[in-house]
Amino acid sequence: MKKVIIDTDVGTDVDDAVAITLALKSPELKVEGITTVYGNTLLRAQIVLKLLKLMGIDDVPVVAGIEKPLLREREVWWPGHEGKGILTDEAKRDLKPVDKHAVDFLIEKILENPKEITLVTIGPLTNIAAAIIKEPKIIENVMEIIMMGGVARIFDNAPELPYIEHNIKCDPEAASVVFDSGIPITMVGLDVTLKVPIDRSHLQRIKDVGTELTDTLVRLIEIWWRFLKSDSSCMHDPLALSYCIKPEFLETTNCKVIVETQGKYTVGQTIVIPDESSNIKVACSVDSEEFIKFLIDRLCSKI
């Protein structure tokens, strides 16, 4: 089994919760821990703990991390629906993450398991950057980073895409530290993740399962769709997570990635330049149909 640690800003976009569920329903993975980042990280950790409880899992450490971007003047985006549909006040009192900081947890786990841990980052990169800064030894001891973040805009759908992606924009300085670290990285950005939406037909399949877990996922999806004023949303984070399980869903190309940290209108932009010698692979195409089938089947499975 591949050893993974998931670093997440779960609770805002529902795709984090779906990705965590996918990971824990996948026998190919051994989830060594889940760390939370950005905003109220304690609340995010409690959401993860509730998901674990719904799956009957009590042996995965959940650790809260850094709440603010590296440069403290950058505002945190917090829509306010985080925790709704899954947490009650009573649950918040009972759900307690590990009494340790996520940065220290990441460093300890990576150094205890040299070249064995894959970091799956599905939120801003603040925890990962801080861990690199605090203990540079993790650079040579982590196996790889699979990242949902960025946008290349050099592939077939470039004109349709935004210039900036949320996870990188939330903490561009942290992203710059991570991309410049030399760690092997696979960047799964908007170039491919915007091609994997789920809609009402997929939601009905999940609803038909009728377990407490799937009912909760349905509520969280509907809350997010009401926020978006939409009947669908893209499974950004599950697609990145799936690369640990079935990399064949994605085609990648080696590229250099530079993060813009100073532009007046372009802070958070990922400038992507093809480079065969780079340590960074960028996803350039996706088998959307096969991925969505795989995702819904796993979510509805009894694993």
**Distance (Å, whole) CA 280 – CA 242:** 18
Look at the pTM and tell me if it is higher than 0.85.
yes
Tell me the CATH number at 48: 3.90.245.10
pLDDT for res 217: 98
- β-sheet bridge partners, residue 197: 234
Domain count, the chain: 1
Give the burial class of 215: count Cβ atoms within 10 A of its Cβ; 0-12 exposed, 13-18 middle, 19 or more buried. Answer: middle
Which residue of the set 101, 166, 202, 236 is catalytic? 236
Say whether 236 is catalytic: yes
pLDDT for res 26: 98
pLDDT for res 97: 98
Which parts of the chain have pLDDT scores under 50? none
Can you give the residue range of the structural domain that contains 149? 2-299
pLDDT for res 303: 73
pLDDT for res 133: 98
Secondary structure tally for the chain: helices H, strands E: 13, 11
b/e string for 83-116 if b means 16 or more Cβ within 10 A?
bebbbeeeebeebebeeebbbebbbebbeeeeeb
pLDDT for res 92: 87
**Distance (Å, whole) CA 6 – CA 29:** 11
